[in-house]
Structures are given as C-alpha cells and as structure tokens.
Amino acid sequence: MISREYATLSAFANVVNTRACNLAKEIVSRDRIFAPVFVAASIFLHFLNARSFGSLVFFWIAVWTPAIQLLIVAAWHARYRKFPLGDSAFARARRQVTWSGRLWGLILALQVAVLLAGR
C-alpha cells in the first residue's frame, strides 16, 4: 500500500503537470495562428502609416501585442519554472513556451528597430 504523503504528492504533481501542459498548448497554438497574421498586419500598418502620415504614428500600437505575448510567456515561466516533478510532456511544454518567448521577442525587437529607424 502506498503512503498518504506519496499519494498526495503524486496527485499534486499530476495536477500541476496537466495545467502547465494545457496552458503551454494554448500559448503555442495561439502562436501558430497569431504570429504570421500579426507580422503581416504590422507590415501593412507600417506602409499605411508611412504613406498616410509620413511617419510611424500608429505603428506604436503594434508593439503592444508582442509585449503582451511576452508577458504571458513570462507568467508561465514564473509559475512553472521551478517545478521539479515534471515529466517528459512538461519538458516539451517548457521548450515550446521558451520557443514562443523567443519568437515574440524577435518580433518585438524587429518592431522596435523599425520604430527607431523611422525616426
């Protein structure tokens, strides 16, 4: 028979593991759809601003989306980073969320570079 402490720890690990993996799946599935659409919309907004206003007046709005996505990734890492009982699915979820953070960090860096070059 297993001890009560082991059963409690196993149940806790299972719940945390499942929640972390489900949240990571939501983050990654959003990236597959949202990142290409957002990049295309950013390019369109850049050219629209450059033609209409001669500057990047409204392009600053486009910086918020990758910043929010980076905050979501940072929140996932802050919550689950030190979880020592993760299984292989948890390790895969951590890699995917890290990749997501790098993707949105790159998009944000490119947008800031465009903003600074447009000054």
Percent of the chain with pLDDT over 70: 99
Interval 7-43: pLDDT, tens: 888 888 888 888 999 999 999 998 888 889 888 888 8
Report d(CA 29, CA 99) in Å as an integer.
12
- The answer to whether 27 and 97 have CB atoms below 8 angstroms apart is yes
Confidence class for position 54, pLDDT limits 50, 70, 90: confident
Q: What's the pTM?
A: 0.83
* CA atoms within 13 Å, Cβ hemisphere of 91: 4
Domain boundaries, the chain: 4-117
